[in-house]
Each structure stands twice: as structure tokens, then as C-alpha cells.
Structure 1
Amino acid sequence: MRRENYWSQIARSIAQQIGEGNDFRTFFAQAPAMNPNRSLIKGVVCGVRVEEIDDPLMQQIRYLDKLIDELAKGKAMEKILRQ
């Protein structure tokens, strides 16, 4: 799949989740595929190290939060996911 089509599909999927008013638990449960390298995301979000969070759902939320923070700072996705 071409990269543009992939990101368009992701954007449509997120828009659908928002339109349906789904919570985070449903959002992550319905995600077509989670990046296997997400557990390599390290750092602190809201004073808590993401790699030390015990609750799996909260850890997924904080991985996403940290990913967005790092992308907003201009860091490359590949570097964040250590690829």
C-alpha cells in the first residue's frame, strides 16, 4: 500500500472512531494493528515513565501521548519507534 493511502486510511479510521464517540478502550481494541515497536517508546509523560506503567490501557494511551509529543517537536517517527 502506498504511504499516502495508508495515512488516508488511518485518518478515516480515527475520524470514524471520533464520530462514533468511542472511548480509548474501544479505540485501541478496534485498532487494525498496533506497531510492534510501540513498547520501545521511552520517556516521561505527565511525570510518569511510560515504560513503567502497569495498566495496559493507560500504557497504550501514554505511548500515543508520547508519540504525538515527540512528533510535534519534529522528531522522526522512525527515531521515536527506534526503527
Structure 2
Amino acid sequence: MSDSSALTQKLQQQVLELPPESLPDLEKFIEFLRFKFQPRKPKATAKPALDATHAVRLGGLLQGYDFSPELLKEARREMWRKFYVEAE
């Protein structure tokens, strides 16, 4: 007897031993397992992968913002100062 058929018989016996009020829960669980293991179909409306014709141009996006080392240093100091105050 194969492992699969032995397991099937064991499960059948366990189902027979369950109280009748638990059968709706078992049915829901079996439906869940069927859903979980059904083959997935590719979505018809799936967007194609990005390629060179769909490239997003980011040039100039941050134009006009100041990212000087001094400004970044001050921003870090301020951020960490607030962090230490909140941690206390």
C-alpha cells in the first residue's frame, strides 16, 4: 500500500470520527486548500515589463534643491538631536 493511499484512509477515518457540528469547518478548510493549490492563470490585464521605450526620465527632477555638504550636515545634526530628545 502506498503512502498516499494509507494517508487517504487515515484521513477518511479521522473525518468519520469528527463530531457532526465540525463538518462545516472542515468543508471550509478543504475549500481553502483547493483554492490555495489551484493553478494560477496569468492575468490578462498584466502590464508588460518596462523596456527602453517605457523608460522614465528623472533628469532635472531635483533641480533647484540645495544639497550642499553643509546643509546635509546640519540636517543630520537636527535629525539626531530630535531623536535623542524623543528617546529620553
Determine which structure has more spread, i.e. the larger CA radius of gyration.
Answer: 2
TM-score normalised to structure 2 length: 0.27
Q: Structure 1 or 2: larger strand share? A: 1
Identify the structure with bigger relative contact order (alpha carbons < 8 Å, sequence gap 6+). 1
